[in-house]
């Protein structure tokens, strides 16, 4: 009968303090393996190391325009109610007038509350309600500064392009005004096809808007802003 054979192989339980290596017939514990500081392993890159930039920043504008339009709507509604009560208007006329008032309220008073100005990775997008949207690539902007010289009483509300002035106003309020000067004139169908070299608009956080624009313009490579259809990258 064959007895048990002693092989001389000794096994030791693994430890978390180092690694194990084989030497001849025994396993010996080596020196602990330490990662250098500052080189820890993470399964995913941390946000401050990945270099990613938020795709879109939003900035609200003033609500003075909305307030004035609501007042206009209420005045028109009262006038329409008086006409309906004291005149024998047909049902079709009443329904048509009601539809016009409702369309005015939704398009010009409610929709401006649902939109904001945007700064993406390569362009500024100015919006006002569902009736105005202008995409301006960084490469098309010559200067974007605070418009402290624009007087509050001389600044129209809404979408306005005064005759004789190559300036388009896209304002919801008369404070915290901004001025963007374009490198070349641009036509806007919302201003009856008239061209403009400057756009005046307002934001509630003017300092934040300027800081975000300068930061993103500095991070954008020059070739990226000038490439064909660069705006599709946002």
**Ordered DSSP codes for 15-84:** -TTS-EEEETTEEEE-----PPTT----SS--HHHH----SEEEE----HHHHHHHHHHHHHHHHHHHHH
Q: Give the per-residue pLDDT at 44.
A: 36
Q: Give the per-residue pLDDT at 142.
A: 93
Residue 232 reports pLDDT greater than 60: no
> Is 48 or 37 the better-scoring residue by pLDDT?
37
Split at pLDDT 50, 70, 90, the class of 155 is confident
Q: Give the per-residue pLDDT at 145.
A: 92
Model pTM above 0.85: no
Rounded percentage of the chain residues whose pLDDT exceeds 70: 70
Least confident of 133-142, 191-200, 223-232: 223-232
Split at pLDDT 50, 70, 90, the class of 136 is very high
Average confidence score pLDDT of the chain: 78
Dihedral angle of Cα 151, 109, 121, 150, to the nearest 10 degrees: 0
Q: Give the per-residue pLDDT at 72.
A: 94
Split at pLDDT 50, 70, 90, the class of 150 is low
Q: Give the per-residue pLDDT at 50.
A: 44
**Cβ atoms of 64 and 172 closer than 8 Å:** yes
Residue 165 reports pLDDT greater than 50: yes
């Amino acid at each position: 009968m064959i007895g048990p054979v002693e092989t001389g192989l000794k096994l030791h339980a693994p430890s978390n303090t180092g690694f194990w290596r084989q030497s001849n017939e025994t396993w010996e514990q080596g020196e602990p393996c330490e990662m250098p500081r500052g080189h820890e392993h993470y399964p995913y890159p941390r946000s401050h190391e990945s270099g990613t930039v938020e795709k879109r920043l939003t900035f609200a504008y003033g609500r003075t325009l909305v307030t004035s339009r609501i007042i206009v709507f209420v005045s028109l509604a009262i006038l329409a109610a008086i006409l309906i009560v004291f005149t024998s208007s047909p049902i079709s006329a009443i329904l048509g007038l009601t539809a016009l008032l409702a369309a005015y309220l939704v398009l010009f008073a409610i929709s401006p509350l649902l939109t904001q100005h945007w700064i993406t990775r390569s362009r500024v997008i100015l919006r006002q309600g569902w009736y105005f949207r202008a995409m301006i690539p960084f490469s098309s902007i010559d200067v974007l500064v605070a418009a402290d010289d624009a007087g509050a009483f001389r600044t129209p509300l809404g979408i306005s392009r005064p005759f004789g002035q190559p300036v388009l106003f896209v304002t919801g309020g008369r404070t915290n005004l901004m001025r963007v000067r374009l490198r070349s004139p641009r036509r806007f169908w919302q201003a009856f096809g008239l061209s403009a070299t400057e756009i005046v608009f307002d934001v509630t956080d003017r300092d934040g808007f300027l800081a975000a624009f300068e930061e993103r313009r500095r991070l954008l490579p020059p070739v990226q802003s000038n490439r064909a259809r660069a705006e599709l990258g946002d």
